[in-house]
Amino acid sequence: MKIDTLLDMQKQLDGHIETEHGLTDVNLVDRKILALLVEVGELANETRSFKFWSKKKASSKEVILEEYVDGIHFILSLGIEIGLQEIDLEGNHSGTEDLNEQFLYVYRIITDFRTEPSVTHFLDLFNEYIHLGELLGFTSQDIFDAYTDKNKVNYERQQQGY
Which pLDDT belongs to residue 62?
97
- Category of 51 on φ-ψ map: left (φ > 0), alpha (ψ -120 to 50) or beta: beta
User: Could you tell me the residue ranges of all domains in the chain?
Assistant: 3-159
Which pLDDT belongs to residue 162?
66
Render pLDDT for 124-135 as a digit per residue (tens, 0 to 9): 999 999 999 999
Neighbouring CB atoms inside 10 A of 125's CB total: 21
User: Topology of domain 3-159, per CATH?
Assistant: all-alpha NTP pyrophosphatase fold (1.10.4010)
**Rounded Cα distance, 87 and 43, in Å:** 24
| Segment 99-124 mean pLDDT | 96
Which pLDDT belongs to residue 94?
81
Between vectors from CA 79 to CA 18 and to CA 143, what angle results, nearest 5°?
A: 95
Whether residue 36 contacts residue 75, with contact meaning beta carbons closer than 8 Å, is answered with yes
Neighbouring CB atoms inside 10 A of 59's CB total: 16
Whether residue 50 contacts residue 56, with contact meaning beta carbons closer than 8 Å, is answered with no
